[in-house]
Chain A
């Protein structure tokens, strides 16, 4: 018998989905997730998740960009080959500002996108859930909660019953 990934359950509408997620959180499950084709307002709190860590990556990117811009302009126009232009000083924080600004934004953007991928552990082109037909319907309008088998509290029978109790239908076990 192939290993089980976990159990998925579907919910009829967004409010039911939302409240069911709160109940799963309160029941103490740790390795589970909600699946919907659109972000549900307030779901991170309902799932008991902390704030996203993506801003850390953004900040690192931004600081690198800023320093890079500053160093480029200082090195190239004031140190390595000083240029006299328009009577302006060899280096001042005023005129390199556009360069520093743009590089800050560029590297912050890369940081953000990279941060999003890293915190989401993407790319991850394979996941057991893709084998389930019902799961593929999440792209349409299906709202699914999946509780993974590796969760400490997972029990094939008890978890299934729990999902039924909180309003889940079309309950299916997904193989790994």
Chain B
């Protein structure tokens, strides 16, 4: 006989119906495997921050710093010589800079999706990846912001983009999507930082308390002085930012409400940011750009590429830190399925664009699409199509999802494909627009290339710093989805999340 809670307005019919309830058995993987307990989870995550930096970290940091210096070099070259060092020229006045901008912003969107949207959808599996994903968002926004900032040419006047009085007596032009980008990206960066920080407060308090406990015990043998010094640093550094959090029930109540609200706010925010980015293109009259489906298409594409990047980061991290019990096959499965789902939405948008380009009976629009596939940039189109449409379809197969090396390679393909998609959209419509005598060909210069590849280094530097100093996963949230956290009794075979 199944157990259910009975409402007072029951009568015989309902009782008879409930008597028939006899659920079939369904095996679902727990979210934290191998029956770990709370202390194991706390230790696992905190020890990454508390122990000596591993060698691989130093090596990666060195490589990342070197790569990041390319961006520094490229930007220095750009500002000192002028925008002419980039490959932009008539007719293609938007090149790698905007492609890279959209690329990085898109990657950031997965982090917010995982933190905010999956929270609203009560998907408990998000807890082991959301902190790192949010960090990825913030660092991606930093990398993205470099491009619009520097592409203005006279960077020292970039503050004119904000509605601040200036000596020329003019204001920004608010009908421009580029101006909306300024507001959207700034808001996105700020709100992501706020959300990320708020999520970290309980975990910072855990690090603080553990440092205090160790200092009280004062058991520093051997190389004690440095370890003790680090603990004193930790105690103060984490304590300041933890704001005195003491894990009180009263506090959790307000915290949970604030968390839910921030999740509820971040969801329309993430939709709006990439929508406004898509407006950069869709508000124009160029064939291939002016399509009404751009907003949700760009958002779906952003989430698609973002999850690709999450997989690219999480799979090695899992192996390096031994996180197999926290980032389980179920997590990988779900991330692959989201890639598949959003990739399919992107596919739907491709179909709609193509069809309506023909249906609209506008010869320029039809030409734009045929030109994408068969014109001078056909190779970019092939890259885009194969990586975006065919690659994620492999995720239908369980065998593929369980092969982590293959998933990792495919996640890289996804990002390559999405970069090429933005390239194809931007450059082909500009290179071959209305007047054949104006057609041209765009090639990136060394400065373009250096600046772009350097941003991967910058991203890695920031991400490595995050890994070293801040808790990689939200300890409190992971505990919340474990069976031991359920106040209504410990169901032996209950799945990790309540919903």
Interface of A with B (CB < 8 Å)? 13-15, 17-19, 21, 33-44, 46-47, 49, 51-55, 58, 72-73, 76-77, 80-81, 83, 85-86, 88, 95-96, 98-99, 101-103, 105-106, 108-110, 112-113, 115-117, 119-120, 122-127, 129-130, 133, 136-141
- Asked if B249 contacts A105 (CB within 8 A), the reply is no
Contact B272 A105, beta carbon cutoff 8 Å: yes
Inter-chain CA distance A18–B177, complex, in Å, is: 52
A39 with B187, Cβ < 8 A, contacts A17-B487, A138-B247 known: no
CB-nearest residue of chain A to B188: A102
User: Which B residues are CB-close (under 8 A) to A141?
Assistant: 37-39, 42
B488 located at the interface, meaning its Cβ lies under 8 Å from any Cβ of chain A in the complex: yes
Min distance, Cβ A176 to any Cβ of chain B, angstroms: 15
Among B179, B198, B485, B490, chain A packs the most CB atoms within 10 A around the CB of B485
Q: Is the interface of B mostly helix, strand, loop or mixed?
A: helix
Complex contact A33–B249 (CB within 8 A): yes
A38 touches B42 (CB 8 A): no
Q: Are A38 and B248 in contact (CB under 8 A)?
A: no
Query: B258 contacts A113, CB within 8 Å?
Result: yes
A3–chain B nearest beta-carbon distance, Å: 19
Which residues of chain A come closer than 8 Å to B202, judged between CB atoms? Answer: 37
Q: Which of A41, A44, A53, A98 has its CB near the most chain B CB atoms (within 10 A)? A: A98
**Main secondary structure on A side of the interface with B:** helix
CB pair A95 B175 closer than 8 Å: yes
B243 and A105 contact, CB distance less than 8 A: no
Known: A81-B171, A123-B243. A43 touches B249 (CB 8 A): yes
- Among A13, A42, A113, contact of B490 (Cβ-Cβ < 8 Å): A13
The verdict on A139 contacting B209 (CB below 8 Å), with A85-B175, A102-B187 known, is yes
A38 and B239 CA atoms in complex are apart in Å by 18
- Give residues 265-314 of B contacting A (CB, 8 Å): 265-266, 268-269, 272, 276, 279
- Contact for A126 among B198, B244, B475, CB less than 8 A: B244
| B272-A125 in contact (CB<8A) | no
Chain A hits for B257, CB < 8 A = 51-52, 54-55, 116
How close is B147's CB to chain A, nearest CB, in angstroms? 19
Going nearest first, the 10 A-B pairs with the smallest beta carbon separation are A18-B487, A141-B38, A116-B258, A76-B171, A34-B249, A52-B257, A123-B243, A38-B479, A139-B209, A124-B244
CB distance from A94 to the nearest CB of B (A): 10
Please provide the chain B residues from 394 to 445 with a CB less than 8 Å away from any CB of chain A in the complex: none
B487 touches A42 (CB 8 A): yes
Interfacial chain B residues near A39, Cβ < 8 Å: 252-253, 255-256, 476, 480
**Segment 185-242 of B: residues with Cβ below 8 Å from A:** 186-187, 190-191, 194-195, 198, 202, 205-206, 209-210, 212-213, 216, 239-240
Q: Is the CB of A122 within 8 A of B210?
A: no
- Give the chain B neighbours of A101 by CB distance below 8 A: 268, 272
A136 and B479 in contact, given A39-B252, A99-B174, A105-B191 (Cβ under 8 angstroms): no
Q: Which of B183, B209, B484 contacts A99 (CB 8 A)?
A: B183
The reply to whether A105 and B265 form a contact with Cβ atoms under 8 Å apart is yes
A120–B243 Cα distance when bound, in Å, is 10
Is residue B333 contacting chain A, with contact meaning CB distance below 8 A? no
**B39 touching A140, Cβ below 8 Å:** yes
Whether B169 is near chain A, meaning CB under 8 Å from some CB there, is yes
- The answer to whether A33 and B248 have CB atoms under 8 Å apart is yes
Write the chain B residue with the least CB distance to A97: B180
Interface size on B, residues (CB 8 A): 73
Contacts of A76 in B (CB 8 A): 163, 171-172, 174
B94 at the interface (CB under 8 A from A): no
Return the chain B residue nearest A18 by Cβ: B487
In contact, B173 and A105 (Cβ under 8 angstroms): no
Contact B172 A109 (CB under 8 A): no
A49→B42 contact, CB < 8 A: no
Q: In the bound complex, what is the Cα–Cα distance between A108 and B190 (angstroms)?
A: 12
* Contact indicator B247/A80 (Cβ below 8 Å): no
**Complex: chain A residue closest to B483, CB-CB:** A14
The listed residue (A34, A54, A72) touching B254 by CB distance below 8 A is A54
Contact between chains at A117 and B477 (CB < 8 Å): no
Pairwise interchain contact A120-B183, C-beta atoms closer than 8 A: no
Which residues does chain B contribute within 8 Å of A42, judged by CB atoms? 487-488
- Give A88 to B174 CA distance when docked, in angstroms: 12
| B486 part of interface (Cβ distance < 8 Å) | yes
Inter-chain contacts of A55 with B (CB < 8 A)? 257, 261
Decide if B191 touches A109 in the complex (CB within 8 Å): yes
* Contact partners of A137 in chain B: CB under 8 A: 213
Q: Which of B169, B239, B250 has the most CB of A within 10 A?
A: B250
A-B contact pairs, 10 of them (CB 8 A): A14-B485, A19-B487, A35-B248, A96-B174, A102-B180, A102-B269, A102-B272, A112-B262, A119-B254, A137-B213
A sample of 15 more A-B contacts (CB under 8 A), given A43-B487, A141-B37, is A14-B485, A38-B477, A43-B252, A72-B174, A80-B171, A98-B180, A101-B272, A106-B186, A106-B190, A108-B265, A109-B190, A116-B258, A138-B247, A139-B247, A141-B39
